[in-house]
Copies of this chain bind each other. A is one copy, B any other.
């Protein structure tokens, strides 16, 4: 025998929450997908489509984060006009970010493996309305490359620094600039660095002040915080 779950009512409630957060905090909705079943994700996306079709106002941008291929397909089926940033496991609906305002957010990381999380942070900041830039080739094992990018980094209103393994890059960056640094540990690593816990500890222990740490692989949270920080700063070039 199969019982019916009271899913309809619950999903409505979930959407109520997100809509409210958008109004209250001036930020886009966010749906964390990997803790939900494909069916749950599909239902949420369909509810947005239904609300939109019904002429609902206040439907600001919605970000679907940590979406694998199956969940992304379910979302695109319900919201075909969403933009799928596959490298960041993120979908945005509607596709176009708002016009940029406020100071520039730079996302920095050391290389290839940290790119998905760094891109999630960049896109989040962009969809929250900031101008963004990605610098992906600086690592503390090769200081010259970091040093050559310092002029750029010093123009940012906020720098998100993503790092796995030893997680030491945010400290080095924060010691060289006057803007706040959002430290974003990634789960890139193995052995004692597995899961990103060593990187998170390093970042919380940083000798340099001016660093706020977010959860491991929480690119959305890092980009969100950076966008809030850069909100009042002068636009690049001003």
The answer to whether A68 has its CB under 8 Å from any CB of chain B is no
In the bound complex, CA of A119 to CA of B199 (Å): 28
Which of chain B's residues have a CB closer than 8 A to the CB of A70?
A: none
Most B CB contacts (10 A, CB to CB) among A11, A14, A26 go to A14
Q: A157-B232, A171-B141 are in contact. Are A212 and B214 (CB under 8 A)?
A: yes
In the bound complex, CA of A3 to CA of B120 (Å): 13
The answer to whether A142 has its CB under 8 Å from any CB of chain B is yes
Closest Cβ of chain B to A21, distance in Å, is 6
Most B CB contacts (10 A, CB to CB) among A189, A215, A221, A225 go to A215
Which of chain B's residues have a CB closer than 8 A to the CB of A104?
A: none
Closest Cβ of chain B to A216, distance in Å, is 3
Query: How many chain A residues touch the partner (CB < 8 A)?
Result: 111
Contact: A20 with B202, CB < 8 Å? no
In the bound complex, CA of A144 to CA of B175 (Å): 10
Which residues of A in the span 186-222 have a Cβ within 8 Å of any Cβ on B? 187-218, 220-221
In the bound complex, CA of A104 to CA of B90 (Å): 35
Which of chain B's residues have a CB closer than 8 A to the CB of A83?
A: 1, 3
The answer to whether A137 has its CB under 8 Å from any CB of chain B is yes
Contact: A16 with B140, CB < 8 Å? no
Which residues of A in the span 72-119 have a Cβ within 8 Å of any Cβ on B? 81-87, 95, 103, 110-113, 115, 119
Contact: B192 with A209, CB < 8 Å? no
The answer to whether A139 has its CB under 8 Å from any CB of chain B is yes
Q: List 10 A-B contacts (CB under 8 A).
A: A13-B111, A13-B136, A13-B137, A14-B112, A140-B168, A141-B208, A179-B228, A192-B201, A209-B220, A211-B214
Other than the known A1-B84, A198-B198, what 15 A-B pairs have Cβ atoms closer than 8 Å?
A2-B84, A6-B134, A10-B137, A13-B136, A27-B178, A140-B140, A141-B174, A165-B207, A166-B202, A168-B172, A191-B200, A191-B204, A199-B205, A212-B212, A231-B233
Chain A interfacial positions (CB closer than 8 Å to B)? 1-3, 5-7, 10-11, 13-14, 16-17, 20-21, 24-27, 30, 32, 34-36, 40, 44, 66, 81-87, 95, 103, 110-113, 115, 119, 134, 136-137, 139-145, 147, 157, 164-168, 171-172, 174-180, 182, 185, 187-218, 220-221, 224-225, 228-229, 231-234
